[in-house]
Amino acid sequence: MAKVSIIGAGQTGATTAHFLATREIADVVLVDIVEGMPQGKGLDLAEAMPVIGSDTEIVGTNDFGPTAGSEVVVVTAGLPRKPGMSRDDLLEANTRIVKTSIESALEHSPDAIFIMLTNPLDAMSYVAMKVGDLPRERVIGQAGILDSARMRAFVAMELGVSVQNIHCYVLGGHGDDMVPLTRHSNVAGVPLTRALSVESLDAIVERTRKGGGEIVGLLKTGSAFYAPAAALAQMVEAILKDRNLIVPASVYLQGEYGQEGIFFGVPAQLGRKGLVKVIEYDLNNEEQAALKASADHVRETIEALKL
């Protein structure tokens, strides 16, 4: 079975390991600096495998030795948001954490594909690529897939329709200026602009943009982890099983959507080599303007990095 290492065994990391293990997607190594914590969570998960009938191997560790030969490395390590904090407030501290994580992981798994979750997501994906001197295919940020899932959940709540019938696409930076493409999103083929009133759709768009902050405000001592972990597991599976699945994700742009030199949320086709290609939608003037505004903010954050 393939090996996936998860750097950061907190709520998101451990829950990602749980999703991967229950679906037998890969053997899992949980890495964290807190002594005993990844070992304890790894052992607890391993003891659950006989109950659910999975032969996945799960181990926890405080060093990177056991991660050797990982096909995919998921980076969730970093300081979480607290109430009142923006994702950008985490920039300096999490840059140091990501830099160390990437260097250590590459030492043991030089061919790994990296999936980033640490916030601010687009900037941390950029850090990973630059620190590791990696081609853009091997660094993918998990952003729009989560934001799109949140939007799908809100549409389902509003319409009383199965989430499986709802397709939403949220592009742009993983922040409050993300761009939900309501014109391209639909319910069983019916555009959201027809399925919902203007007021309902506007409310869903706003709630989607503030989705992470809403959960932070409710939890008070942490941030979301179930939905981010499910999205990470889907991305890992798409890569390891060469699904060529198209999902909104943060990737390094080289002219697509008129942007270059930044990580940014776009429809990305994921396969065994990581990023296969970027899918470009036909956007109207309003959508292009919103995407440019989001890109300008991401660019400002990346330019503030001290690499």
Q: What percent of the chain has pLDDT over 90?
A: 90
Q: What is the pLDDT of residues 241-274, one digit of tens each?
A: 999 999 999 999 999 999 999 999 999 999 999 9
Rounded to 5 degrees, φ, ψ at 133 are: 50, 50
Among residues 18, 108, 174, 184, which one is catalytic?
Answer: 174
Domain 3-141 in CATH 3.40.50.720? yes
State phi, psi for 202 to the nearest 5 degrees: -60, -40
Residue 198: partners with Cβ closer than 8 Å, 6 or more residues away: none
CA separation, residue 58 to residues 5, 27, 75, 114 (Å): 10, 6, 17, 19
The CB density around residue 202, as the number of other CB atoms within 10 Å, is 12
Answer whether CATH 3.90.110.10 is correct for domain 144-303: yes
Compute φ and ψ for 227, nearest 5 degrees. -65, -45
Residues forming CATH 3.40.50.720 domain(s) in the chain: 3-141
Q: Is the dihedral of CA 29, 49, 25, 81 positive or negative?
A: negative
Which part of the chain has CATH 3.90.110.10? Answer: 144-303
For the stretch 186-210, pLDDT in tens is 999 999 999 999 999 999 999 999 9
The mean of the pLDDT values for the chain is: 95
Confidence of residue 87 (pLDDT cuts 50, 70, 90): low
* Cα 102 to chain centroid, rounded: 16
pLDDT at 85: 66
Measured in whole angstroms, how far is the alpha carbon of residue 58 from the centre of its chain? 22
Radius of gyration of the chain (CA): 19
167: annotated active-site residue: no
